[in-house]
């Protein structure tokens, strides 16, 4: 890639987009180290908290599904800034809640805003970046989510040891408000919006069999990732008896591997023509890593090491999948990417509910086999979707 070609990347958009993805992910994953504490504080079972996580994922899916039409009417800049403001307000409301239903409402409304932001930013970047650079661009956006694990979750765990989950909610809300201000300054008015003609009937035109296969792969990938991202901290606490103060280091190592995988996957995606094969190989390798992580009775060092391998491979699989999905015609690209966020939320919802049941039973080996089966299914679906749709 030459310097002149690299210069056309919308760096300001990618910067605020990655930061916004960090905060969008943090409003959910930032709760991961505190599920046991939240259950005690709110006097509910951890399975009930998994319903809250699932409800938030459903909200993300519902709102992102309609992001295309909303962008066509309101413009993406307004959606991006407004969604971040709502997320900040909901985190503040969660910190002040005294009952589970209040936390549930804040999580669902925050999820609605998160879906709007993610659908808008993926659509904007997809329209602004050429296909030859889309792997790197999507890798940076996805990397924002990984940084939420690399920095957000470990820091939340450490800070929460002193100020509790409510204080962490306020910190996340404040950070989201700062990103909203930066987005208002850096994203220009009158940016790309979805054309009205593309909105009418665009959804049916977008959902060909190959796109549906890729969306199915997206669901399976998010279930596998979501189970580990949401419940790995709980796994370390229950299976290896780590405290909140001890969690940051292993969580940072694991999340760092996922972030590195995003960056490597983005670069490889822009250099490999057969993107379906690239994703299928990564998904198959993820399946093997999932079994290796949960099935043998590892000690803490080996468990963290295998989690790092899992997250590295999983992170590398995301850019080729997003590049495939964004490779459709411009008329339906925003629609496909919005639907993909909805499908991802289905994966998150399933991972929250299924993972919650498995964690409650401490069925770690079963979690490994389930993740492996889903990863292999995703590999097969991506291979079926190898005939990329064109205009």
Which of these, 167, 151, 137, lies nearest to 269 by C-alpha position? 137
Query: How many domains are contained in the chain?
Result: 1
Asked if the model's pLDDT at residue 64 lies above 80, the reply is no
Residue 346 in domain:
yes
Task: Assign 331 a pLDDT band (cuts: 50, 70, 90).
Answer: low
- What is the rounded average pLDDT for all residues in the chain? 81
- In angstroms, the Cα distances linking 255 to 147, 191, 203, 347 are 7, 33, 35, 19
In a domain, 250, yes or no: yes
Is residue 46's pLDDT more than 80?
Answer: no
Specify if 2 maps to a domain: no
Say yes or no to pLDDT of 69 above 70: no
Asked if 123 and 334 count as a contact pair (C-beta separation under 8 A), the reply is yes
Cα distance between the two ends of the chain? 27
Contact present, 19 and 179 (Cβ < 8 Å): yes
Domain with 342 in it: what CATH number? 1.20.1250.20
Q: What is residue 60's predicted lDDT score, i.e. its pLDDT? A: 80
* Interval 198-213 mean pLDDT: 65
Domain holding 134, by residue range, is: 11-384
Residue 312 pLDDT > 90: yes
Residue 191 within any structural domain of the chain: yes
Report DSSP state, residue 188: P
Whether 389 maps to a domain, the answer reads: no
Rounded alpha-carbon distances, angstroms, from residue 195 to 130, 295, 332, 342: 19, 50, 10, 21
Check pLDDT > 90 for residue 160: no
Query: Within a 10 A sphere around the Cβ of 45, how many other Cβ atoms?
Result: 11
Dihedral angle sign, alpha carbons of residues 73, 23, 266, 385: negative
Handedness of CA 110, 112, 115, 120 (dihedral sign): negative
How far is the C-alpha of 201 from the C-alpha of 199, rounded, in Å? Answer: 6
On the CB side of 362, CA atoms within 13 Å amount to 6
Return the CA Rg of the chain. Answer: 19
| Contact in structure between 115 and 62 (CB atoms under 8 Å) | yes
Is 279 part of a structural domain of the chain? yes
Model confidence pLDDT, tens digit, residues 101-151 = 898 999 999 989 998 898 788 877 777 777 777 777 777 787 777 777 667
Residue 3 counted as domain residue: no
**Residue 348: per-residue pLDDT:** 77
Tokens of 85: 């403001």
Main-chain phi, psi angles of 241, to 5 degrees: 60, 35
Phi then psi dihedrals of residue 246, to 5 deg: -85, -15
In this prediction, residue 306 carries a pLDDT of: 92
What is the spatial distance between Cα 127 and Cα 124, in angstroms, rounded to a whole number?
5
Contact status, residue 335 vs residue 258, Cβ threshold 8 Å: no
pLDDT 10s digits, 212-246: 889 999 999 999 888 887 788 888 888 888 887 78
Q: Is residue 32 part of a domain?
A: yes
Phi-psi region of 371 (alpha: psi -120 to 50; beta: other; left: phi over 0): alpha
**CA 353 – CA 52 distance, rounded (Å):** 9
Buried b (16+ CB within 10 A) or exposed e, 215-243: bbbbbbbbbbbbbbbbbbbbbbbebeebe
Q: Are 371 and 311 in contact (CB under 8 A)?
A: no
Q: pLDDT-based confidence at 176, cuts 50/70/90? A: very high
Which pLDDT score, from 0 to 100, does residue 92 have? 92
DSSP letter (8 states) at residue 149? I
User: In whole angstroms, what is the distance from residue 114 CA to residue 108 CA?
Assistant: 10
pLDDT above 70: percentage of residues in the chain: 87
Is the pTM here over 0.85, yes or no? no
């Amino acid at each position: 890639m030459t310097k002149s070609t690299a210069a056309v990347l919308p760096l300001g958009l990618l910067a605020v987009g990655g930061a916004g993805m960090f905060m969008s992910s943090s409003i959910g994953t930032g709760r991961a180290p505190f599920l046991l504490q939240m259950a005690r504080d709110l006097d509910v079972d951890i399975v009930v908290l998994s319903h809250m996580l699932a409800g938030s994922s459903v909200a993300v899916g519902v709102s992102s599904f309609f992001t295309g039409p909303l962008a066509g009417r309101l413009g993406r800049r307004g959606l991006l800034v407004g969604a971040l403001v709502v997320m900040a307000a909901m985190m503040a409301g969660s910190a002040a809640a005294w009952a589970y239903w209040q936390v549930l409402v804040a999580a669902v409304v925050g999820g609605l805003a998160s879906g709007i932001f993610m659908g808008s930013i993926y659509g904007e970047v997809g329209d602004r970046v050429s296909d030859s650079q889309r792997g790197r661009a999507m890798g940076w956006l996805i990397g924002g989510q990984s940084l939420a694990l690399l920095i957000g979750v470990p820091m939340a765990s450490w800070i929460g040891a002193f100020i509790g989950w409510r204080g962490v909610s306020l910190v996340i809300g404040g950070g989201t408000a700062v990103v909203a201000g930066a987005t208002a300054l850096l994203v220009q008015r009158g940016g790309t919006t979805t054309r009205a003609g593309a909105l009418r009937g665009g959804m049916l035109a977008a959902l060909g069999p190959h796109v549906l296969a890729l969306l199915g792969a997206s669901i399976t990938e998010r279930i596998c990732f979501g189970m580990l991202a949401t419940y790995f901290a709980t796994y370390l606490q229950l299976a290896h008896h780590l405290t909140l103060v001890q969690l940051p280091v292993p969580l940072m190592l694991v999340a760092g591997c996922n972030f590195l995988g995003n960056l490597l996957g983005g670069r490889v995606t822009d250099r490999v023509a057969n993107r379906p094969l690239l994703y299928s190989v990564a998904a198959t390798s993820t399946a093997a890593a999932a079994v290796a992580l949960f099935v043998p009775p590892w000690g803490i060092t080996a468990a963290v090491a295998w989690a790092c391998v899992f997250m590295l491979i999983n992170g590398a699989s995301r850019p080729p999948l997003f590049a495939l999905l964004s490779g459709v015609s411009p008329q339906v690209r925003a629609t496909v990417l919005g639907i993909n966020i909805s499908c991802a939320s289905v994966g998150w919802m399933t991972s929250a509910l299924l993972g919650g049941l498995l964690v409650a039973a401490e069925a770690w080996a079963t979690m490994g086999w389930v993740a492996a089966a889903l990863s292999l299914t995703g590999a097969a679906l991506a291979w079926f979707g190898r005939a990329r749709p064109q205009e």
